[in-house]
Amino acid sequence: MIKFSKTKTFMLDLFFPKFCLGCQKEGTYLCDDCRSFLDISEFNYCLCDKNSSHFLPDPKLGKCSRCQDKKLSGLYFALPYKDSALTKKLIYQFKYPPYLKDLAETLASILIEHFIKTGKNTNEIWENSVLVPVPLTKKKQKERGYNQSEELAKELSKILKIPVISNVLIKTKHTKPQMESKKEEREKNLQGAFKLKCGVSDTPHFSGKKVFLIDDVYTTGSTMQECAKVLKLAGAKSVWGIAIAREE
């Protein structure tokens, strides 16, 4: 088995060599030099973008007092999106042409580095939890051939040793890409966009669990809030967000 997969990887590398998205060096999507320029965050931030050094970083209360009534318990993201052309490129090519699906491994390792830097590598944080990728509509997933958030969740699952639950939370309504619409318009558009595949009683997957919602970019948080609403109705104890980068 192992021999086969090594041969397969070797063949893939031979025919589809990887190049660093930062400097074009062959052999990897992100070489060590370019990786060292990424500003992988040492802090946790509140949903409202307040730095955790400005409020008590209680792991059970991952947000400031103003954000207490939000459905999402807190957010983890590794990179600021705006400042870095390389971050933008990594995420863009992960979900748009040339559709580098296997960038998921590199991006997951960036998130893991963030968890280690912020002391989130303890059993307490991850026990009794599941990973849930933010779903795409069937049509969208068919167009792309994969759900980038699911690929990321699968890679994180290998390292964190917690299960991924895909295709139970589903997206049934098409919504415009986050960056193309105004906040109010987007929130309205997202209402009712996410559902459980079956009735609540048929989906015991989330009951009493800490759910980590996985997405590539966190923009205003409307998508994750909307997903969290559904997951909480399905019995999730708490819902946290994980994104590679934060947009605003």
Residue 34 sits in the site that holds Zn ion (CB under 5 A): yes
Q: Which stretch binds Zn ion (CB under 5 A): 50-58, 105-113, 119-127, 140-148?
A: 50-58
Q: Specify the residue, 193 or 244, whose C-beta has the smaller distance to Zn ion.
A: 244
The span from the CA of 8 to the CA of 163, in Å, is: 26
The DSSP letter of residue 102 is G
> Looking at 29, 41, 46, 230, which residue binds Zn ion (CB under 5 A)?
46
Strand, coil or helix: what is 71? coil
For the four alpha carbons of 193, 198, 201 and 205, in that order, the dihedral sign comes to: negative
Which burial class, exposed, middle or buried, applies to 170 when counting CB atoms under 10 A from its CB (0-12, 13-18, 19+)? middle
- The nearest distance, CB 240 to Zn ion, in angstroms, is 14
Q: Which stretch binds Zn ion (CB under 5 A): 13-21, 138-146, 169-177, 189-197?
A: 13-21
Which phi and psi (to 5°) does residue 113 adopt?
-60, -40
Q: Which stretch binds Zn ion (CB under 5 A): 64-72, 85-93, 179-187, 198-206?
A: 64-72
Residue 22 sits in the site that holds Zn ion (CB under 5 A): yes
The span from the CA of 174 to the CA of 105, in Å, is: 28
Q: Which stretch binds Zn ion (CB under 5 A): 60-68, 116-124, 136-144, 231-239?
A: 60-68
Q: Specify the residue, 20 or 230, whose C-beta has the smaller distance to Zn ion.
A: 20
Residue 26 sits in the site that holds Zn ion (CB under 5 A): no
> Looking at 23, 198, 200, 233, which residue binds Zn ion (CB under 5 A)?
23
- The nearest distance, CB 124 to Zn ion, in angstroms, is 22
Residue 72 sits in the site that holds Zn ion (CB under 5 A): no
Q: Which residue has the tokens 């946790």?
A: 44
Which burial class, exposed, middle or buried, applies to 167 when counting CB atoms under 10 A from its CB (0-12, 13-18, 19+)? exposed
- The nearest distance, CB 36 to Zn ion, in angstroms, is 10
Residue 48 sits in the site that holds Zn ion (CB under 5 A): yes
Inter-residue contact 41 to 32 (CB < 8 Å): no
| CA nearest neighbour of 105 among 152, 150, 149 | 152
Binding site for Zn ion (CB under 5 A): 20, 22-23, 25, 31, 34, 46, 48, 50, 63-64, 67
